[in-house]
A and B are shown apart, each in its own frame.
Chain A
Amino acid sequence: MSGLLGNLRIPHRKNTASMPAVKLNPTGDILLPMSQHIGAPATPVVKAGDSVKVGQKIAEANGPVSSPIYASVSGKVLKIEPYLRPNGQTVDAIRIAPDGEMTPAEEIVPPEIVDMESFLLAIRESGIVGLGGAGFPASVKLAAQKNGKIDTVILNGSECEPYITSDTRAMIDGAEWIYKGVLLLKQHLGIEKYIIGVEDNKPECIRKMKEVFASAEGVEVVTLPSKYPQGAEKVIIYNTTKRVVPEGKLPADVGVLVVNVSSVLTLAQYIETGMPLVSRVVTVDGDAIKNPQNVEVPIGTSAQELIAFCGGFVNEEDVGKVLYGGPMMGACLATLAEPVLKTTGAILAFTKKTSKMQEPTACIHCGRCVSACPLDLDPTTFSAALAYGDKEQRVQILQDAHIGLCMECGCCSYVCPAKRPLVQNNRLGKAEVRDYLAHQATLKK
């Protein structure tokens, strides 16, 4: 017992950890959906037929919680078309035919920063959102410092999902940028304490981070155990600061901000060069991929082109699943036409055999899910609650069992010997509670 949250040992499979990202210059269409972040979709400011250059703003942030979108290639806007998001929402997407030149836009100049206000504005303009996968606009998160509540920033370098090494490469190849990013945050937000949390299966990252931050004051590199899910926000906060984020509260409420290392790197690059978020490092791996590697790819490039860049599939006929993100929390693609988004840290493709899921059998009450849950939830209660016929009773049990705390990390499903869809049940339960509360709220009105 280490006294730390997260106790699941899963295979690491960091096959691409030693591979610096290779640049891809796309030839196929670029598709940029207006919603690649949490919050309101951006509003297009270009129209079909317009010529665009790399870094040119093509969509404006719409409202306080939103993020602008920039052309990731130079070329011509073909059309603005509807795009169906995995969650069922339809948003606009801008389709660009690249000219292959990658000409940067003339408007690219480093932002002028004089105070916290202009710094936050610059971050908003950078288009940076949580690059670890959450997609929360960075400016909104950092704005919590406006009332000075934050005393610690945690740089999340744990990268606890199997396969993914894009943050690993960021910490190795972009260590200087991360250093500059921390200095910028210090200077403009006035937060003194920085903790860089890295899992112990990335010794090179730990060494590199310790090296660049050797003389930096207030920066501590913390080695975390390689036990899933170290990178989950509440988990890394507790494991590095022992602070508990209460149910329904934000990290800022306990004086902490968690930012992904790649987000900090991109932020530093933007402040210094003025080039906003137009590309990112994507790990392409999985047993169906011929040449697994890290690729620096313009956002909006199709999964198809990225996979072809990596030698394509081992066997075209034997592809079961293609994922965006890691195997624990990633989402399945229905088509390879899907574009790489700001939040896409990995594309994983698995053979039919690897993708195959066993049929669920009856729960044997073994308690493995309960022991595996990093937050001490009881997934069996949630599943049992869903069987109740009475909706109110169902919602009551789910709420009493704190279903709102479930972060869908996947530990319970992973360990279940009966192969039950526990996370899926939790999602169902959470949606049910959400709908019920929304319904009650409308009734009150």
Chain B
Amino acid sequence: MGNLTVSTSPHIRSAVTTQMVMRDVLIALAPATVAAVVLFGLRALLLIAVSVATCVLGEFLFHLICKKQQTIGDLSAAVTGVILALNLNTQVTVWQMIVGALFAIIVVKCFFGGIGCNFANPAATARVFLAISFAQVGAQVPTVYTDLVAGATPLGNLATGSELPSLVDMLIGNRGGSMGETCVIAILLGFVYLVVRRVIKWQVPTVFVATVFVLSWIFTKDIHMALYYVLSGGLLFGAVFMATDYVTTPIRTSGRMIFALGCGILTVLIRFFGSYPEGVSFAILIMNILSPYIDKLTAKVPFGGKRK
């Protein structure tokens, strides 16, 4: 008999790994990815592939140059790649996609220490970076089926007061917008999957969306319009896939709900009073910065502990 292994307890671990969590997120993103390709054509597939490849390769090379242990196996870089691409429209050029993906993975993630250390959501930051840098990122792109005038996005229409797509078109995603953000049904499928797999808590996206709904209803005094505000733009996609990012949101569920509430309020304020029609990415970024403070606010006095 050889030597016995000696280690500290516990001696059993749950089967869940970081890689499994990230794989679940990729699976949850699959319906939205498929919808993007169906609605926006093969160009969507090309852009998603470029984004994922750039993120994974970027992280690999960064770690290679910095002589750090490779982490692309945890699939988090791939997740960033998919989320970033689905956040953009098909008018983005391939080189813009590459610049955005490199910004997300190198500047926002790797420069801050890699997985678990970035304070801001890489995809949200890169989207904002691209939107500020290049005009076509904010442009209005039609789906292959839509015959709407110039394929205006509903949020653009809401802002200008022009005609809106039907609610059915909103649900299946037959309207202008970012690749992964238009098909509500696909996003909801991903949401259900993540909740069932216990990757996310249902409360977080729900609070975000509900806040936007209620405030939009108050501001427009029209429940029908409020519904459009909820279904359009990047709200649902951001609420399900970006406001639930572990790394950049508070650690306790209570904190995450406050985070979601803040995201909802900021989104509505930007949509109604800001100069951009869409505010989800900005809202998530601002709340990312506030996350450590929310953690402090929601720290619990442990069982039997004295309040200090």
- Chain A interface (Cβ within 8 Å of chain B)? 5, 10-11, 162, 234, 238, 244-247, 249, 313, 316-317, 319-323, 327-336, 350, 352, 355, 357-358, 361-368, 370-371, 373-378, 380, 400, 402, 405, 408, 410, 413-419, 421, 423-424, 427
- What chain B residues lie within 8 Å of A244 (beta carbons)? 303-304
20 A-B interface contacts by CB (under 8 A):
A247-B304, A249-B304, A323-B11, A327-B11, A332-B5, A332-B7, A352-B5, A362-B115, A364-B247, A365-B247, A366-B246, A371-B252, A377-B302, A405-B303, A405-B305, A413-B13, A415-B16, A416-B14, A419-B13, A419-B17
**How many angstroms between the C-alpha atoms of A368 and B17 in the bound complex?**
12
Q: Are A375 and B10 in contact (CB under 8 A)?
A: no
Q: Are B1 and A316 in contact (CB under 8 A)?
A: yes
Given contacts A5-B303, A245-B304, A419-B17, A319 and B4 within 8 Å (CB-CB): yes
Given contacts A414-B12, A414-B13, A423-B10, A355 and B5 within 8 Å (CB-CB): yes
Q: Are B9 and A327 in contact (CB under 8 A)?
A: yes
Number of B interface residues at 8 Å Cβ cutoff, please give it.
43
- What chain A residues lie within 8 Å of B251 (beta carbons)? 365, 367, 370, 378, 380
Complex: chain A residue closest to B16, CB-CB: A417
- In the assembled complex, the CB of A234 is this many whole angstroms from the nearest CB of chain B, namely 6
Please encode chain B, from 1 to 31, with 1 for each CB lying within 8 Å of some chain A CB and 0 for all others: 1101111111111101110110000000000
Q: Which residues from 92 to 107 on chain B have a C-beta closer than 8 Å to any C-beta of chain A?
A: none
Top 7 closest pairs, chain A to chain B, by CB: A410-B10, A362-B116, A375-B303, A332-B6, A366-B246, A327-B11, A367-B251
B18 touches which of A322, A371, A418 (Cβ 8 Å): A418
- What chain A residues lie within 8 Å of B67 (beta carbons)? none
- What chain A residues lie within 8 Å of B308 (beta carbons)? 400
- In the assembled complex, the CB of A369 is this many whole angstroms from the nearest CB of chain B, namely 9
Complex: chain B residue closest to A234, CB-CB: B304
B246 touches which of A10, A367, A423 (Cβ 8 Å): A367
Complex: chain B residue closest to A328, CB-CB: B10
Given contacts A364-B116, A378-B299, A355 and B21 within 8 Å (CB-CB): no
Q: Are A364 and B246 in contact (CB under 8 A)?
A: yes
- What chain A residues lie within 8 Å of B113 (beta carbons)? 362
- In the assembled complex, the CB of B300 is this many whole angstroms from the nearest CB of chain A, namely 5
**How many angstroms between the C-alpha atoms of A270 and B7 in the bound complex?**
37
- What chain A residues lie within 8 Å of B117 (beta carbons)? 362
Q: Which residues from 228 to 281 on chain B have a C-beta closer than 8 Å to any C-beta of chain A?
A: 246-249, 251-253, 256
Classify the secondary structure of A's interface with B. loop
Total A-B pairs, Cβ < 8 A: 155
Complex: chain A residue closest to B6, CB-CB: A332
- In the assembled complex, the CB of A271 is this many whole angstroms from the nearest CB of chain B, namely 34
- Chain B interface (Cβ within 8 Å of chain A)? 1-2, 4-14, 16-18, 20-21, 71, 74, 76, 113-117, 246-249, 251-253, 256, 299-306, 308
A334 touches which of B6, B18, B249, B299 (Cβ 8 Å): B6
B17 touches which of A238, A327, A336, A417 (Cβ 8 Å): A417
Complex: chain A residue closest to B22, CB-CB: A364
- Extra contacts, 14 of them, besides A5-B303, A416-B13, A427-B8 (Cβ < 8 A), are A321-B11, A328-B9, A332-B7, A335-B4, A358-B13, A364-B247, A366-B21, A371-B252, A371-B253, A376-B303, A377-B302, A402-B302, A414-B12, A423-B8
**How many angstroms between the C-alpha atoms of A334 and B5 in the bound complex?**
7
Q: Are B4 and A376 in contact (CB under 8 A)?
A: no
**How many angstroms between the C-alpha atoms of A89 and B72 in the bound complex?**
45
**How many angstroms between the C-alpha atoms of A415 and B253 in the bound complex?**
16
Complex: chain A residue closest to B291, CB-CB: A365
- What chain B residues lie within 8 Å of A363 (beta carbons)? 116
Q: Are A405 and B18 in contact (CB under 8 A)?
A: no
Q: Are A327 and B12 in contact (CB under 8 A)?
A: yes
- What chain B residues lie within 8 Å of A419 (beta carbons)? 13, 17
**How many angstroms between the C-alpha atoms of A370 and B298 in the bound complex?**
12
- What chain A residues lie within 8 Å of B12 (beta carbons)? 10-11, 162, 327-328, 414
- What chain B residues lie within 8 Å of A249 (beta carbons)? 304
